[in-house]
């Protein structure tokens, strides 16, 4: 369904459920509800995943850190959900071995970690092949030769998983659409009418500056950091409120921060921060500080950056890394539920669901990792509000968009299938592998979006993004702006802002062809991207 068709439906139809917010939480609810046969609409004020859901650490946590906080139920849930994601989206869940070095004067730290990991393996039901290993300091240095040697007592090594967060959202949105949901980006909720039995919801088509009204039996508020704004519009802002905390990440070239594993480092305040190898980059994150500024583009500050740079310097020997080495950065806001007297990093990551007197279901808190279970819990409340029994959720058993590998259980086998070999005939193997890793089975549609092998070549130096992917982003994933393509359909702007700038004019020209932009509009869209790209690394000038 195109965006124009979605707008027609929003104006002309009424829905069982209207979801506000196209981050991972809203996307998960839309998919679950549509798979249960409900009529579903989802509106997103900006682009899908433009809020917190494209700015996370991208870890699909097994839940080890919740063990430290004594949140056993969350440990089990995170571990189960990680296994579900690997099954339903084999193209998205990438194994990422985690190495935790232990420093100290004695071996006490190693024994404590070993006991914690043994408990974790048992609670989380970790299969034998994925259980942790304890390394001596010599073994740890073989794995990570640049680790700081002084007082290194050893390390633990165990598998974690990574997933491109924005792609997880896009594939979940696509699955919801495939199951019949009406989804549209750049549609903002402005106001609510009276509640029961059908609630009018007043919307703005942000692109056209036009207003429209849709109707739904139940409204789900999945607006992440904006949930309290929606609760105010609903007249139900009393009670629990959000405590927003900001987390930033910095990106380096892999050669400037040569790590082979996700390395857990200790910051100056003893908080764990990660160095994560990802494609040709290594990103470092994250911070956790209370935040009260504007929600749309939270800034990276020189202090945030120095906190992470300091953690890198104290964890590795001989790395003289500084702000000039940073080639990309992002900042996101955790929509946590306020807990009196707790510091940002102590606040629970558990989700909370609140049903207002008008019947609006608000979901706050939570994690990317547990989004599917969060959606099931929202549907339990929705079922009660709809007053009818719904079929059980199918969200754990059906593959996500891109995850249906024709019976193959992994991408390597899928790449050998006749369908894939035929469609990618003449395409270099590394391109095929890259596209399958990014889009799963949807790579078949990407391959034909640009018309020929030529259109799968990189658009410019420093990025592998191709013309076919840009065209597919518009046709298959509702991209509307240069930033949509370079920040979320691909991640070039996040990981290598300079490379994104270099290809932006070409991306703008392809979008102009696809979306029928005038020359003036093309220039305007390019300028908007340039402004965002400049702002992304602006803190480097002030930080020295």
When the beta carbons of 25 and 441 are compared against ligand FAD, the nearer one is 25
Nearer to ligand FAD, 140 or 242 (CB): 242
CB nearer ligand FAD, residue 378 or residue 512: 378
Enter the tokens of residue 249: 């990440």
Minimum Å distance from CB 407 to ligand FAD? 29
| CA pair distance 166, 172, nearest whole angstrom | 10
Are the beta carbons of 182 and 173 closer than 8 angstroms? Answer: no
Least separation in angstroms between residue 174's CB and ligand FAD is 16
CB contact at 8 A, 150 and 318:
no
Separation between Cα atoms, residue 251 and residue 330, nearest integer Å: 9
Beta bridge partners of 285: 249, 274
According to DSSP, residue 443 is labeled H
Smallest gap from Cβ 505 to ligand FAD, in A, equals 27
Residue 215, burial from CB neighbour count under 10 angstroms (0-12, 13-18, 19+): middle
> Tokens representing 537?
């690394």
Contact 261, 69 (CB under 8 A): no
Nearest approach in angstroms of CB 512 to ligand FAD is 25
Q: What is d(CA 187, CA 476) in angstroms, rounded to the nearest whole number?
A: 18
Q: Least distance to ligand FAD from the beta carbon of 319, Å? A: 23
CB of 242 to ligand FAD, least distance (A): 11
* Cβ distance to ligand FAD smaller for residue 344 or 476: 344
What residues line the site for ligand FAD (CB under 6 A)?
20-26, 43-46, 50-53, 55-59, 61, 188-189, 222-226, 230, 247, 286, 332-335, 366-369
Give the residue with the Cβ less far from ligand FAD, 110 or 337.
337
| Residue closer to ligand FAD, measured from CB, 72 or 108 | 72
Q: Which residues contact 416 (CB under 8 A, 6 or more apart)?
A: none
Neighbours of 47 (CB within 10 A): 24
**Would you say 443 or 473 has its CB closer to ligand FAD?**
473
Q: At what angle do helices 165-178 and 24-35 cross, to 10 degrees?
A: 20
- Smallest gap, in angstroms, from Cβ of residue 424 to ligand FAD? 32
């Amino acid at each position: 369904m195109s965006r124009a068709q979605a707008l027609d439906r929003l104006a002309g139809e009424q829905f069982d459920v209207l979801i506000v917010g196209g981050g991972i939480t809203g996307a998960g609810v839309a998919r679950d509800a549509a798979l249960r046969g409900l009529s579903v609409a989802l509106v997103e004020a900006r682009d899908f995943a433009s809020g917190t859901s494209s700015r996370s650490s991208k870890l699909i946590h097994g839940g080890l850190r919740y063990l430290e906080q004594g949140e056993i139920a969350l440990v089990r849930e995170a571990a189960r959900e990680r296994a579900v994601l690997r099954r339903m989206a084999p193209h998205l869940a990438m194994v990422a071995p985690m190495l935790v070095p232990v420093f100290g004067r004695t071996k006490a730290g190693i024994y404590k970690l070993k006991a914690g990991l043994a408990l974790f393996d048992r609670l989380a039901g970790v299969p034998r092949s994925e259980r942790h290993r304890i390394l001596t300091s010599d073994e740890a240095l073989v794995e990570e030769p640049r680790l700081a040697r002084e007082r290194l007592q050893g390390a633990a090594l165990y598998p974690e998983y990574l997933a491109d967060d924005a792609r997880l959202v896009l594939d979940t949105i696509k699955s919801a659409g495939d199951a019949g949901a009406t989804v549209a980006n750049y549609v903002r909720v402005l106001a609510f009418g009276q509640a029961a039995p059908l609630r009018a919801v007043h919307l703005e088509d942000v692109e056209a500056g036009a207003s429209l009204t849709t109707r739904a039996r139940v409204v789900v508020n999945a607006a992440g950091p904006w949930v309290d704004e929606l609760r105010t519009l609903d007249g139900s802002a009393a009670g629990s409120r959000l405590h927003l905390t900001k987390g930033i990440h910095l990106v380096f070239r892999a050669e400037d921060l040569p790590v082979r594993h996700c390395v857990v480092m200790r910051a100056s305040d003893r908080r764990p921060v990660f160095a994560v190898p990802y494609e040709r980059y290594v990103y470092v994150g994250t911070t956790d500080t209370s935040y009260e500024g504007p929600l749309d583009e939270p800034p990276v500050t020189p202090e945030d950056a120095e906190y992470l740079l300091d953690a890198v310097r104290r964890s590795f020997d001989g790395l003289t890394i500084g702000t000039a080495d940073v080639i990309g950065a992002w900042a996101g806001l955790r929509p946590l539920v306020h807990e009196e007297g707790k510091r940002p990093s102590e606040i629970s990551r558990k989700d909370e669901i609140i049903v207002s007197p008008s019947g609006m279901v608000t979901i706050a808190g939570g994690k990317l990792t547990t989004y599917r279970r969060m959606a099931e819990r929202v549907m339990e409340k929705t079922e009660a509000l709809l007053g009818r029994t719904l079929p059980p959720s199918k969200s754990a058993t059906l593959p996500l968009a891109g995850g249906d590998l024709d019976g193959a259980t992994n991408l390597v086998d899928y790449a050998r299938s006749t369908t894939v070999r035929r469609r990618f005939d003449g395409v270099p193997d590394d391109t095929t592998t890259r596209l399958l890793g990014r889009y799963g089975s949807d790579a078949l549609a990407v391959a034909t979006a640009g018309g020929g092998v030529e259109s799968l070549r990189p658009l410019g130096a420093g990025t592998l993004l191709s013309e076919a992917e840009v065209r597919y982003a518009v046709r298959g994933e509702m991209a509307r702006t240069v930033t949509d393509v370079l920040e979320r359909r691909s991640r070039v702007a996040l990981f290598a802002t300079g490379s994104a700038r270099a290809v932006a004019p070409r991306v703008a020209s392809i979008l102009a062809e696809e979306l029928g932009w005038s020359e003036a509009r093309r220039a305007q869209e390019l300028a908007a991207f340039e402004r965002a790209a400049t702002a992304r690394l602006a803190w480097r000038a002030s930080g020295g």
